[in-house]
Amino acid sequence: MEEVTIRTIAQRANVSHTTVSRALNDSPLVKEATKKKIRQLADDLGYVPNLNAKGLVEQRSFLIGVFFSDLDTGTSPSFLVDVIKRARDFLPKGYSLSLDSVESLSASGTVSRHQYDGAIVVSQSKKDDPFIETLIKRRLPIVVLNRKIDRDDVSNFSTNDYLGAKKILEYAIRMGHRQFGIIGGATSFVSAADRRQGFDDVIRENGAETRPEWQRQGNYLPESGYQAMRDILGAAETPTCIFATNDDMATGAVRACQDLGYKVPADISIIGYDDMNYSKYLVPRLTTVRKPTDSIVQEGVSALTELLSNPAMAPVKKVAEPTLIVRDSVKDLRK
């Protein structure tokens, strides 16, 4: 069972392989009748083009690289799947999606122009910058999603986590809260730093209170939220509201309250971030912040698509606004 190549077809059709190549690429140089015959033959023989050969001569790979900061923690699986899904739907046909983590590829250092035709970097951390720099140097069409980056020669779609944190904390302030705790995310993540900054600023601007013993470091997983909350509740006094910087940690935090006999939100309020798909079904329903992930991914992929056909395209930047989602996990203290 030999592989079918354009030469196999050429032989059968009594033409040169060049004609076959042209026919299959719908070149205007070939007579319509010839095209038809050749296409039919290709179909019958089950011809599939060899992308290595094609790529070799055309200097492309038919691969779009999708790179995540880190596959182990922090990147929400659902976000990842979202990116893949959208990318598949919006990218021109013929491209495959190749997945890897920035981390592992920075190490091996083998990312080059002819390995990928383009790249989507879903970045969480400033640590990715050298990697991004490398891609740009190699003139790889690229978009950076999720995190706002400083350089202006790259298309970049992100959400304003700082603003999201401010919005939700100001809401808590409006509900009468004055004493706040926080369960932070991994320090290397820009999102975590931004949310923290929003927290700090709202506290300061409103003369609210926070204390070191009300602040704990988590890692975006439920376990860490649970543990952090237990620690905080061990303090002599407790705040009235806790900002868990993502919904997974908020879930763990709620559980910790339950275990120690605190009712949420009656005894203590908890706010989350990200509006996970199950957050509105928790007990209590989580008050949280929704990032416009869909539009980010969608616009990002569209930008890359355009970039692929027009490498000289001016970079597009967009910082999308998060939405406050008010549900039941924050108590109204004014009543």
Partner DNA sequence: TAAGTGAGTGTAACCGTGAACATCTTAATG
Partner DNA sequence: CATTAAGATGTTCACGGTTACACTCACTTA
Which residues lie near a copy of itself (CB under 8 A)? Answer: 3, 48, 50-53, 55-56, 61, 63, 71-72, 75, 77-78, 80-81, 84-85, 88, 93, 96-101, 104, 108, 110, 112-115, 221-222, 225-226, 248, 251-252, 254-255, 258, 277-278, 280-283, 285
Work out the burial of residue 160: count CB atoms within 10 Å of its CB; fewer than 13 is exposed, 13-18 middle, 19 or more buried: middle
Q: How far is the CB of 150 from a copy of itself (least distance, A)?
A: 25
For residue 270, what are its two tokens? 């908890």
Q: How far is the CB of 222 from DNA (least distance, A)?
A: 47
Cβ contact 80:47 at 8 Å: no
- DSSP designation for 153: S
For residue 220, what are its two tokens? 């975006």
Q: Which of 40, 44, 45, 53 is close enough to bind DNA by CB under 7 A?
A: 53
Distance CA 65, CA 50 (A): 20
For residue 15, the partner it binds in DNA, a copy of itself, none, with Cβ less than 5 to 8 A by kind, is DNA
Site map for DNA, 165-204, x if CB under 7 A? Answer: ----------------------------------------
For tokens 């981390």, name the residue.
103
Residues between 64 and 83 with contacts to DNA, criterion CB under 7 A: none
Work out the burial of residue 51: count CB atoms within 10 Å of its CB; fewer than 13 is exposed, 13-18 middle, 19 or more buried: middle
User: Count of CB atoms within 10 A of residue 27's CB?
Assistant: 12
Cβ contact 157:143 at 8 Å: yes
- Regarding 61 and contact with DNA (CB under 7 A), the answer is no
Residues between 15 and 34 with contacts to DNA, criterion CB under 7 A: 15-19, 21-22, 24-25, 28-31, 34
From 112, 24, 122, select the one nearest 71 (Cα to Cα).
122
Length of the chain in terms of residues written = 335
For residue 165, what are its two tokens? 């944190």
Q: In this complex, which beta carbon is closest to a copy of itself, that of residue 207 or of residue 261?
A: 261
Q: How far is the CB of 332 from a copy of itself (least distance, A)?
A: 20
- Regarding 54 and contact with DNA (CB under 7 A), the answer is yes
Interacting residue ranges for DNA, rule: CB under 7 A: 3, 5-7, 14-19, 21-22, 24-25, 28-31, 34, 47, 49-50, 53-54, 56-59
